[in-house]
Copies of this chain bind each other. A is one copy, B any other.
């Protein structure tokens, strides 16, 4: 008919054929029911959804979960002449995708640790399936294909329908061969392309008959997940170091660094990327992001989307950031011990953002996402991090005319530390030289260009100041390179630059060592040494690309002050020591202001706890110490989580007008949990773990939450105590039964409004 109407979701009149040949047609699919036209609301309200009619020829293909229906029989257009021949064609009795963890596929593809009943393999590497026919396979006469289908609208040209042929003469974009053929059983070897879509595919076997294609039915037991492959040189995520792969892909246990650069704290974490349900949760995240399937083979796009999806700002992402101290209706960020609960919660609720996270939680869950999909990933911690930086290199601190810190005017805050992710990939979208580790930061920037995502940005490019290459490199560059600029108000009320500290920010970048619990200092991956000519060139190049710096030159002074580190247990009294050194040959008198402020780890002040104004007289060339007492009773009731006190000492030298400054973050060390395991650690044996804690303070701890988990041995568990009185101890005991062998840990945390971030762990090695 000439006037055939084409509806939004057309039903084909005559199904086309699909045979094993060079580039076959897609199977006929019956798409989902046509979407109802969006009900148009009055113009005064905000219409959210408009029908896509007229805008695109079909619905967007961005769901892995939806399944396009595949026809079981597709007749050919042209029927053969003459009477129908006797039944000659192959019939399929069984398809075995060899999916047991101990079989060749999972062992060879390093996917044996996933808790999954499905086959899981990696791309660009051969895996095998066994097809049992009704009679022996005759290559010259029998034509069949193994067909891989993903999503609601399979199309060969979009990479969502891929047939794999057994013979050399006809090959598609994925390679196939007959590994073995004996009796009725054919073992096919299948190798995907190195850039195929990462996700969950359906498998069909299609056999050519004289009348059309006959296919197996939909069989979820043969579904296969295809992941990124750091073991294959053809894959952009190829990482040519087996130990790094063991650490950054296969290790479920991590250590996240925090605290202060000269008093580093550690927090163990269960990434749990192999736990049941986590892989599906990661695919769900990409579906929730509405990410087109055809983009999901591109690791740059996957990591960029995930950077946005990890935070809930403007896209219903996984985690809600909350630094306020009020976590009434969620889990305090310091309480989590692993990623699994978070991801299962998110996927299970069909995408309700999980409360709450701070930077390490965003980073940890993102790390799980990366490792689960096969992208090598690790968490790094940058000490003194200029987050929220507008991409410029200036963090301002305002002092009044006497050199006292003016908190009202000081709006910038430098984070004591910040955690982000690195993922490993080639960057074919950039000029050569910028592959390798890439920064991705899932913690929302308050002042980025409105986007709550960051990266991937090449670490090599950041080190060399080449910040013009995508994505978001200026933000990361500023995070590790900003100058701290002290402005001082003068006697007549004017402001001028008093001091520029170019080495405070980005003091140290740490990540966990490979395959043991040590630290790796990777600062030199991000920055040339302070004061080196390369460093100077890099900063100039960054300025060329628009990063603003403070150019004022401040005359050198001749008095120095510094504050050495302290080891303080929370609740203790302690002395802050200021060490002065007069480097001149004259007397110097310093009017000093010492302010101690409880700060969040973001550097945002909460409450001042000490304020002293010592006058320090220094003879020529003299060194002198001044002590300032800080008492537990002054700060205990004002501590916020993470128990940091920020000491800033500033002052003016009477004789010269020089401004001196020193800053120090003092960590209060919390009590610890004692975790003990009893029983003989074997797979499937019943074992016991106990967590002990004693309240060392003089006040009650109320509504106390304990959490515990251990990769491969114990899923996450919780327990609550309504009250732990001063001096009393609690012991929480659980049983568990290890699921798999190997070295692992049990990680526990304790959390309540009055005391956060109490941790404990124990290692154990499970035998078979």
- Give me the interface of A with B, judged by CB distance under 8 Å: 1-6, 10-12, 16-19, 21-26, 37, 40-47, 50-58, 60, 74, 76-78, 153, 155-158, 213, 289-292, 294-295, 298, 300-301, 304-305, 308, 312, 314-316, 320-326, 328-330, 349, 352-353, 355-356, 388, 390, 394, 396, 400-401, 406-413, 428-431, 446-447, 449-451, 467-471, 474, 485, 487, 489-497, 544-546, 597, 600, 602-612, 634, 640
Q: Which residues of B contact A413 (CB under 8 A)?
A: 56-57
- The reply to whether A607 and B409 form a contact with Cβ atoms under 8 Å apart is no
A-B contacts, 14 listed (Cβ < 8 Å): A2-B609, A3-B634, A5-B608, A6-B608, A11-B408, A44-B352, A50-B321, A50-B323, A54-B324, A77-B400, A155-B409, A157-B394, A157-B485, A295-B447
**Bound complex: CA A199 to CA B48 (Å):** 30
Partner of A611, one of B4, B292, B300: B4
Given A22-B495, A53-B325, 4 further pairs, Cβ under 8 A: A26-B495, A77-B400, A291-B450, A429-B546
Closest residue on chain B to residue A355 by CB atoms: B43
**Bound complex: CA A294 to CA B396 (Å):** 14
- The reply to whether A495 and B3 form a contact with Cβ atoms under 8 Å apart is no
- The reply to whether A21 and B410 form a contact with Cβ atoms under 8 Å apart is no
CB distance from A699 to the nearest CB of B (A): 18
Q: Which residues of B contact A4 (CB under 8 A)?
A: 608, 611
Closest residue on chain B to residue A354 by CB atoms: B43
- The reply to whether B602 and A55 form a contact with Cβ atoms under 8 Å apart is yes
Interface centre among A5, A153, A546, A606 (most CB of B within 10 A): A546
Tallying the copies of this chain within the complex gives: 2
Closest residue on chain B to residue A320 by CB atoms: B47
**Bound complex: CA A5 to CA B467 (Å):** 41
CB distance from A632 to the nearest CB of B (A): 14
Q: Which residues of B contact A21 (CB under 8 A)?
A: 490, 492-494
Interface centre among A74, A304, A326, A356 (most CB of B within 10 A): A326
Partner of A290, one of B22, B51, B450: B450
**Bound complex: CA A605 to CA B428 (Å):** 36
**Bound complex: CA A25 to CA B400 (Å):** 9
- The reply to whether A494 and B305 form a contact with Cβ atoms under 8 Å apart is no
Closest residue on chain B to residue A295 by CB atoms: B390
Closest residue on chain B to residue A608 by CB atoms: B4
- The reply to whether B324 and A23 form a contact with Cβ atoms under 8 Å apart is no
Q: Which residues of B contact A329 (CB under 8 A)?
A: 40-43, 47
- The reply to whether B431 and A326 form a contact with Cβ atoms under 8 Å apart is no
CB distance from A419 to the nearest CB of B (A): 15
- The reply to whether B450 and A57 form a contact with Cβ atoms under 8 Å apart is no
Q: Which residues of B contact A449 (CB under 8 A)?
A: 291, 295, 301, 304-305
Q: Which residues of B contact A5 (CB under 8 A)?
A: 607-608
Tell whether A51 pairs with B324 under 8 Å between CB atoms, given A58-B411, A604-B56, A610-B2: yes
CB distance from A695 to the nearest CB of B (A): 25
Closest residue on chain B to residue A292 by CB atoms: B447
- The reply to whether A493 and B606 form a contact with Cβ atoms under 8 Å apart is no
- The reply to whether B450 and A606 form a contact with Cβ atoms under 8 Å apart is no
- The reply to whether A546 and B607 form a contact with Cβ atoms under 8 Å apart is no
Tell whether A330 pairs with B43 under 8 Å between CB atoms, given A289-B450, A546-B428, A609-B2: yes
- The reply to whether B25 and A494 form a contact with Cβ atoms under 8 Å apart is yes
Q: Which residues of B contact A292 (CB under 8 A)?
A: 390, 447
Q: Which residues of B contact A53 (CB under 8 A)?
A: 323-325, 604
- The reply to whether B494 and A19 form a contact with Cβ atoms under 8 Å apart is yes
- The reply to whether A446 and B76 form a contact with Cβ atoms under 8 Å apart is no
- The reply to whether B76 and A600 form a contact with Cβ atoms under 8 Å apart is no
CB distance from A365 to the nearest CB of B (A): 17
Closest residue on chain B to residue A451 by CB atoms: B451
Q: Which residues of B contact A493 (CB under 8 A)?
A: 16-19, 21, 24-25, 74, 76-77, 213
- The reply to whether A23 and B495 form a contact with Cβ atoms under 8 Å apart is yes
CB distance from A115 to the nearest CB of B (A): 26
**Bound complex: CA A643 to CA B491 (Å):** 75
Q: Which residues of B contact A490 (CB under 8 A)?
A: 21
- The reply to whether A544 and B428 form a contact with Cβ atoms under 8 Å apart is yes
Q: Which residues of B contact A294 (CB under 8 A)?
A: 390, 447
- The reply to whether A46 and B316 form a contact with Cβ atoms under 8 Å apart is yes
7 smallest CB-CB distances across A and B, nearest first, come from A17-B493, A21-B494, A54-B323, A55-B323, A54-B600, A51-B324, A53-B324
**Bound complex: CA A388 to CA B54 (Å):** 13
Q: Which residues of B contact A304 (CB under 8 A)?
A: 449
Q: Which residues of B contact A298 (CB under 8 A)?
A: 546
Q: Which residues of B contact A390 (CB under 8 A)?
A: 292, 294-295
Q: Which residues of B contact A545 (CB under 8 A)?
A: 428-430
Partner of A429, one of B394, B400, B468: B468
Q: Which residues of B contact A485 (CB under 8 A)?
A: 157
- The reply to whether B447 and A60 form a contact with Cβ atoms under 8 Å apart is yes
- The reply to whether B446 and A56 form a contact with Cβ atoms under 8 Å apart is yes
- The reply to whether A37 and B609 form a contact with Cβ atoms under 8 Å apart is no
- The reply to whether A17 and B57 form a contact with Cβ atoms under 8 Å apart is no
**Bound complex: CA A329 to CA B45 (Å):** 10
Closest residue on chain B to residue A474 by CB atoms: B429
Interface centre among A56, A77, A294, A352 (most CB of B within 10 A): A56
Q: Which residues of B contact A467 (CB under 8 A)?
A: 429
- The reply to whether A324 and B470 form a contact with Cβ atoms under 8 Å apart is no
- The reply to whether B492 and A388 form a contact with Cβ atoms under 8 Å apart is no
- The reply to whether B157 and A6 form a contact with Cβ atoms under 8 Å apart is no
Q: Which residues of B contact A12 (CB under 8 A)?
A: 408
CB distance from A320 to the nearest CB of B (A): 6
Closest residue on chain B to residue A601 by CB atoms: B54
CB distance from A551 to the nearest CB of B (A): 12
Closest residue on chain B to residue A26 by CB atoms: B409
Partner of A388, one of B11, B24, B56, B352: B56
Q: Which residues of B contact A58 (CB under 8 A)?
A: 411
Q: Which residues of B contact A603 (CB under 8 A)?
A: 57
Closest residue on chain B to residue A4 by CB atoms: B608
